[in-house]
Amino acid sequence: MASDTGAGPPAVTLRDARLGLRGKPDYVLQEEHRGRVLLVALELKPTRRSGRVSESDAVQVAAYVLLVQATYGASAAPFGYVRYQSGTVRIDLTPELRHRVEEIVRSIRRDRGARVVHRSHGIAARCAGCAVRAHCDERLA
């Protein structure tokens, strides 16, 4: 249906006014489930070979599911997909995952006004690829 990868029709920025969230999943697919056509978010992670879904990928897909739901209502699926090099995994929007997304959104909003925001992870590879690494006094790499 739409793509943020350059293939197919251009992606539309999805918005959830209640959460104050917006974003563009890599794809929004149309899939038939139980006799209904649903819109499903698909996020591509083509260089990852993980055998399990990382929390950050699950939260990202869950945020896209919420955005598809806010934009398309009853036509939106209650799940999305993340596609790794090793395969595609379905991410169901559970109440716990919805709560985690909402918690992260609140945290980001709160931290935007903070004078100092501390690093939230212990992963050197994330620091190595970070856009603000040169200005961070907590970098790991």
Rounded to the nearest 10 degrees, what angle do helices 55-72 and 95-112 cross at? 90
Instruction: Please tell me the predicted confidence (pLDDT) of residue 6.
Output: 55
User: Distance between CA atoms of 64 and 41, rounded to whole angstroms?
Assistant: 6
Which tokens belong to 68?
Answer: 């598809």
Q: What is the mean pLDDT of the chain?
A: 88
User: Distance between CA atoms of 60 and 131, rounded to whole angstroms?
Assistant: 19
The 8-class DSSP code of residue 22 comes to E
What pTM was computed for the model? 0.80
Instruction: Please tell me the predicted confidence (pLDDT) of residue 8.
Output: 61
Spell out the domain ranges in the chain. 2-135
**Tens digits of per-residue pLDDT, 23-61?**
999 999 999 999 999 999 999 999 888 778 999 999 999
